[in-house]
Amino acid sequence: MRFTAKIFVLLASIGLSGCSAFDWMVYKIDIPQGNYIDDAKVEQLRINMTKEQVRFVLGTPMLIDAFDKERWYYLYSYQSGNGDFEKRDLVIQFVNDHLAFIEGDYQVSEDFMQPLDAG
CA distance 91 to 103: 5
Of 37, 82, 89, 84, nearest to 59 by C-alpha is: 37
More confident residue, 31 or 5: 31
Percent of the chain with pLDDT over 70: 91
User: What domains can be seen in the chain, in order of their start residue?
Assistant: 25-118 (3.30.1450)
Q: Quote the pLDDT of residue 86.
A: 94
CA distance 89 to 5: 58
30 CB-near residues (< 8 Å, 6+ apart): 78, 79, 80, 81
Model pLDDT for residues 67-86, shown as the tens digit of each residue: 999 999 999 999 998 889 99
Q: Quote the pLDDT of residue 26.
A: 80
pLDDT at 22 over 70: no
pTM of the model: 0.74
